[in-house]
Structure 1
Amino acid sequence: MNERSMPLDYYVTISTSDDKLSAYLLISNTNDSFSVKIGELEELLKSHSIIHGVDRTQLVQIASDPKPYFFQKVTIARGTKAIDGLNGSIKYIYDLDNEDKRPLELEDGKVDFKQVLSLHNVKKGQLIGQRILATEGNPGRAVTGEVIFAKAGKEARFKIGKNVIMDADRMAIYSAIDGMIVKTDRDKINVFPIYEINGDVDYSVGHIDFIGTVVVRGNVLPGFKIRAAGDIRVLGGVEAAELEADGSIEISAGIVGQSKAKVKAGKNVKSSFIQDAVVEASEDVIVSQSIMHSTIRAGRTVNCNGSKGLIVGGTIQAGEKVVARTIGNSMATVTVVEVGVLPELRNELIHLRGQLKVLSENSDKSDKALSLLDQLAAAGQLSPDKVAMRIKLNHTKKQAFEELTAIRERILEIEKSLEDSEHAKVQVISTIYGGAKVVIGRYTKFIKDPVSRLMFQLNDGDISMVAFK
């Protein structure tokens, strides 16, 4: 090997990248006789402060045969890159950024286009979102040994709107009320107690199940359902739809039920008119115009005494009182008005009497069959299968007796409540027509001819008609 006439750094240039994550070796100013030892290369690197990430295998290859590396910039050291920290984030219980409205796909592969919108319901005190902290990151190291600092992740911050509270550690947010989560402008998280539809409840909206109050500024179209833990207010009309609220229901333009509408409220139902529908209210049903061919059940009062105030057809049941301007019509359309007991008790009584009849008939059949089997037993003519039948019938008879006893006791209990109807009344402001039937408690009065301006109430065990001015 020829002696070099110049220092090694004349022939070999060491350089680094701008970020000091790479070091390079370049052999130049030489000829084919150039040679170098591995130790010399290592010392040269140290003289340039290249101490981290040195590729010694590469250096060994260069030292053993430098010629292939002439006039090439060869990487002979690699630093450790810094890993920046991850930004903090917020994990919500709902995907608040997904605004797509896709219909619900059922298990059988069919699609329910009425199930379009999923409301983000929350209860008071329920967790809405949790903050995930940012990370610091991992520092790196340059080929010269200096530390390369990592950039820490940016912390996420809650943007709180209405009815949302944060815990003391600022790590979670909770709902202050029952309602729905809504992300508004500037990404603020709110919980609103009212869900408002600025139009009809149709296929673009779908069924609604909301934990607060629902306001519909249009109509509720046939086949759709609204369920609300608060109130329901419909500024338009309700067609063959189903509405249920724990609070009250108010329908400005009335109900055209097409014999399919069902409206049920935990408090009151108020509507301009009701036609061909089933309406239930734990308290009052208030109608300004008319109730036609409908089933109405109110825990307290049915009030239909507006300028028209007409009740015709169907069945009206109220726990305390029914007030109407007109009941029935000149065509003697059958119209039933029942007061003096909660509607559900009166309907339960009808159901129980039906059950009692069926059980009594079955019990009679069992008694006849047992009587025949007892005769065979007395004559010693019971086969094994007849013995089994006799045992089974005795067991059935015992069960039937217990059921019959329980039903009779419940019927007596309800009938006793029917007796306590002295404050119940039906008030007719204008006219009640023939074909109408008034039931107060357990007493019934059929109307044959039109009568005007009177009140029906119990008096000495009968329904009396009291005129008023």
Structure 2
Amino acid sequence: MSTVSSQEEQIRLKVSPDEMYASLEVTQGLIDGEQLLAMCLTELRSRNVQINKSVEQQVAEQLRPLSKPDVGAVTIELRGRPPKPGDDGRLEWAQGCAPPDKHAVAPGHEADSDQAIDYYNQRKFITVTAGQPVLRIVPPTDGDSGVTLSGKDLPSKAGQPVKIRVDPNSVVTEADGTCTAVIDGLLKFDGQKLSISPHLEIHGHVDFSTGNIDFQGDVQIGKGIRDCFIVRANGNVIVDGPIESAGIETGGDLHANRGIACHSPSSIIVGRNLQARYLDTAHVCVKGSANVEREVIQSKLTVGDSLTIEHGSLIGGITCVGRKVSLANIGSDAEVITTLYMAHDPSYAVLLQRTEEYLDYLQTKLKKVTDQLTQIQQLGGRGDHAADMLTELMCDKYNLETQFTRLRTKYEKLNDCYQKRRRADLDIAKQIHAGVRLIIDDQEIRVTRPIRGPIWIGWDKQRKLVYRTGDHGTTVPLKDIPGLEIMPSKSPCPDMTPPQMHSLSEDSEDEPKASAAEPAKKP
């Protein structure tokens, strides 16, 4: 391997115009070792390259291969430090608050890897509660400055802050950038503004484009609810389009402005009052009052307070009303069997029934403890073991007696409230058709021929069934109306509880469904 006889030919240095890169080509020659290192550093200094301990170590390390006779040349590379731009600001969403993906599925409804996605439970809306952290606004960073080989500083570019506006009326921003909900409601973020609305407005249908709705406030739906979809809301629900075989549960009122028409099982539970255009083959439970503009046809309808159908008819199905009923017509010319239970509120009745069953359970258990206590006392109750058993049984007896007495008092108050609340008050403006069955308390009235209105049927002060024709007529015993058959009722009000809503979109005919009216299990 030939060597170079002069220093100029042994070392060649190139430096880039921006002073961010330098290459030093060194070949075998007359000079080596420490002298060659010093000569390389001198050459670098001549081109304004700053020499520090790190640079000196790099050059020395890369010159080391020249000590081997089979290495003819090495290239030493030195680089400046480029500036590192700062990170832009960003949003860190709290768990469960990030804007949903197109096919996101609601928590608790995720499909397994070998199952299809449940599109009824697509997660399209995010609801939050007051005090819940929603996201954190992470500020931008300044970045790191750079430096050339000559030591010149290169400033870095700072990151850009995230562009977001926060509604101060619904979201509070902490000093660390955490955004916390002030109210319950719908989390809204359009890419620029963050807010929480106590109202959810859906302009189209509740269908596969929205998935099921579960919301803490009021919900307004523009075009109706499709089959098998579920809407839950703590507040009011207003539906401007038709409601199909769907599930609805409200804490407030339900306004079905285009009516409810079902062809398969539905479940509608209204926490306060119902306002509907019509009901057709629907299963509805209303805690307060119901006002229907037109017909109620072949439906299962429970109303805790009053039912009004001002311009339409109640035809077929089973209806149960706790207080007042005002109808234009009941039944039809075709004599469709139409059953109306009056002075009966299933929610009260179920609660009273469950309480009675638990009182019976406590009484049975109390008798068993009392019998055991008597038996031990008759045997003398001697010995430490017998004394311990006596003490334990006496304590159990006292606790059971206390629990029974308290529950019995509550039961009597509840029953008294229920009895005072019940009313038999039926007002028919036009006609009662044949085929109508009225069940009032323990009596059943069957209509065998049409009765023209206006007519009022109800209780007198002694809770005897009477009727009155016209607005100001005299009340007469109901048995005097021709075309009626009055008999003791053998048809207790059936379970009117709507089916569980989680099964509306499932093929679960073989799956047993628990009922809200099912007696409570004994502890």
Native 8 Å contact 2:5 2:30 kept in 1: no
1:194 paired with 2:192, answer: no
Distance 1:338 1:403, change over 3 A: farther
State the Cα distance separating 1:244 from its structure 2 match. 0.7
Alignment counterpart, residue 99 of structure 2, candidates 87, 96, 101: 96
Q: Counterpart in 2 of 1:336?
A: 340
1:13 paired with 2:12, answer: yes
Alignment counterpart, residue 271 of structure 1, candidates 276, 291, 298: 276
Q: Aligned to 2:156, what secondary structure does the other structure show? A: coil
1:309 paired with 2:304, answer: no
1:323 paired with 2:326, answer: yes
For 2:23 and 2:329, the matched residues in 1 are separated by: 103
State the Cα distance separating 1:32 from its structure 2 match. 5.8
Unaligned 5+ runs, structure 2: 381-387, 472-523
Native 8 Å contact 1:366 1:397 kept in 2: no
Q: Counterpart in 1 of 2:425?
A: 425
Native 8 Å contact 1:437 1:444 kept in 2: no
Flag the structure with higher strand content.
1
Q: Counterpart in 1 of 2:129?
A: 123
Deviations 1:48-75 (A, max 9, x none): 22224342314754885899555x7x22
1:447 paired with 2:411, answer: no
User: Normalising by structure 1, what TM-score?
Assistant: 0.75
Q: Counterpart in 2 of 1:413?
A: 413
For 1:229 and 1:379, the matched residues in 2 are separated by: 61
Q: Aligned to 2:43, what secondary structure does the other structure show? A: helix
Map 1:95-244 to 2 at 5 A: 95-96=98-99, 98-101=101-104, 104-106=109-111, 110-111=115-116, 113=118, 114-123=120-129, 126-159=132-165, 165=171, 167=173, 171-175=177-181, 178-184=184-190, 187-192=192-197, 193-196=199-202, 198-202=204-208, 205-212=210-217, 213-215=219-221, 217-222=223-228, 224-244=229-249
For 2:140 and 2:69, the matched residues in 1 are separated by: 49
Native 8 Å contact 1:422 1:459 kept in 2: no
State the one-letter code of the partner of 2:326: V
State the Cα distance separating 1:5 from its structure 2 match. 9.9
Which 10-residue stretch deviates more, 404-413 or 454-463? 404-413
Deviations 1:175-203 (A, max 9, x none): 5654323443x64445442241623525x
State the one-letter code of the partner of 1:466: R
Alignment counterpart, residue 467 of structure 1, candidates 469, 484, 490: 469
State the one-letter code of the partner of 2:110: E
Distance 1:163 1:119, change over 3 A: farther
CA RMSD of aligned residues (A): 4.6
Native 8 Å contact 2:171 2:196 kept in 1: no
For 1:190 and 1:210, the matched residues in 2 are separated by: 16
1:298 paired with 2:303, answer: yes
Q: Aligned to 1:57, what secondary structure does the other structure show? A: helix
State the Cα distance separating 1:106 from its structure 2 match. 4.7
Distance 1:39 1:84, change over 3 A: same
Distance 1:351 1:26, change over 3 A: closer
State the Cα distance separating 1:400 from its structure 2 match. 7.0
1:346 paired with 2:382, answer: no
1:77 paired with 2:78, answer: yes
Native 8 Å contact 2:200 2:220 kept in 1: yes
Native 8 Å contact 1:332 1:436 kept in 2: no
Q: Aligned to 1:309, what secondary structure does the other structure show? A: strand
Distance 1:47 1:411, change over 3 A: closer
For 1:356 and 1:138, the matched residues in 2 are separated by: 76
State the Cα distance separating 1:136 from its structure 2 match. 1.7
Alignment counterpart, residue 245 of structure 1, candidates 221, 233, 250: 250
Native 8 Å contact 1:181 1:189 kept in 2: yes
Q: Aligned to 1:289, what secondary structure does the other structure show? A: coil
Deviations 1:324-347 (A, max 9, x none): 1223457473623324x7652233
Q: Counterpart in 1 of 2:504?
A: none
Distance 1:155 1:409, change over 3 A: closer
Native 8 Å contact 2:223 2:242 kept in 1: no
State the one-letter code of the partner of 1:326: N
For 1:178 and 1:22, the matched residues in 2 are separated by: 59
Deviations 1:407-462 (A, max 9, x none): 543443234224535976322222335653353xxx55533445432223442212
Q: Aligned to 1:416, what secondary structure does the other structure show? A: helix
State the Cα distance separating 1:227 from its structure 2 match. 0.8
Unaligned 5+ runs, structure 1: 381-387
State the one-letter code of the partner of 2:44: L
User: Normalising by structure 2, what TM-score?
Assistant: 0.69
Native 8 Å contact 2:105 2:122 kept in 1: yes
State the Cα distance separating 1:129 from its structure 2 match. 2.7
